[in-house]
Structure 1
Amino acid sequence: MMQRKFLLAALLVSGVVLYLAGCSKQSEDKLAGSTIPCDTLNVSYSQQIVPILQSICYNCHGQGNTAGSGGINLSTYTALKVYADNGYLVGNVTHAPGYVGMPYGLPKLPDCEIFTFVAWVNQGAKNN
């Protein structure tokens, strides 16, 4: 009986330690493959938004690639700003209820990229 209590207590303590070690921000970044911190303090359209668009969105929503994407072209600041202002950009990239999750048919973007889009919109979606 005493050994059973000791074993249970040891398992409980071990579980708590493993849980706390596994939930650190550093572990989360490693699991996500991120080696750079997610900086959303002053998001720049040209430095942060355009690279995400180029690597992920322009395949379907770039110049000349919009036939299968409802004709939505996000290759210019002016075009993207429309979707930033009407809420569709954030709704789509966060997979919010009532919106078509983007990228279509694929998993959500990494959290940092989602946070970057949301921060850019919340900061006024500036052309900077």
Structure 2
Amino acid sequence: MKRYVHLFLIVLTSSLALLAACKDDKEEEITPNNPNNPQQQQCDTGSVTFSSTVSGIISTNCLACHSAAMAQGGMILDTYARVKTAADNGKLMGVITHAAGFSPMPKGGPKLSDCNIAKIKKWVDDGAPNN
């Protein structure tokens, strides 16, 4: 009988520890593309620039593998000129939207948020200016 009580206490303690570990999780971190999240419904693409928007997205999501030091797949995205080349030839939008015929990026990671994709698309559609 003591054995079962001991086992019950271990299971109960473990369950409470798991619940406590999740109590501070934020909805947007758990489901990054949640259309019901009001914060994600407001994606401002009105003032997208390379320097203030696109370069930050590229830096955060791409440069770990696509810098001059890494250059995976022969793609380097560490300067405006190199990102512009990828934008102009269609590779940038193809890989981040996971379009057919393109290797989905970030490789082995989650797809960029819909908002980040929309921001990059806006910049590309505007001619990929160096702004």
TM over 0.5: yes
Cα distance in 2, alignment partners of residues 70 and 26 from structure 1: 33
Alignment pair present for 1:75 and 2:78: yes
Aligned counterpart, 1:54: 59
Residue 98 (structure 1) shift: 0.8
Aligned counterpart, 2:37: 28
Identity value in percent: 41
Aligned counterpart, 1:64: 69
Distance verdict in 2 for CA 1:83–1:28, change over 3 Å: same
| Paired residue type of 1:70 | G
Q: Which consecutive residues of structure 2, in runs of 5 or more, have no partner in the other structure? A: 1-33
Deviations 1:2-46 (A, max 9, x none): xxxxxxxxxxxxxxxxxxxxxxx983345xxx4x93111231000
Aligned counterpart, 2:127: 124
RMSD (CA atoms): 2.0
Cα distance in 2, alignment partners of residues 120 and 28 from structure 1: 25
Aligned counterpart, 2:90: 87
Cα distance in 1, alignment partners of residues 90 and 48 from structure 2: 18
1:101 counterpart (97, 104, 107): 104
Residue 106 (structure 1) shift: 1.7
Aligned residues: 98
SS at 1:125 equivalent: coil
Distance verdict in 2 for CA 1:26–1:124, change over 3 Å: same
Question: Structure 1 stretches (4+) deviating beyond 4 angstroms?
Answer: none
Deviations 1:23-79 (A, max 9, x none): xx983345xxx4x9311123100000111111111100123122xx11211000111
| Paired residue type of 1:75 | D
Aligned counterpart, 2:24: none
Cα distance in 2, alignment partners of residues 124 and 45 from structure 1: 11
SS at 2:47 equivalent: coil
| Paired residue type of 2:48 | V
| Paired residue type of 1:58 | L
Deviations 1:74-96 (A, max 9, x none): 00011111110011110110001
SS at 2:84 equivalent: helix
Cα distance in 2, alignment partners of residues 90 and 28 from structure 1: 25
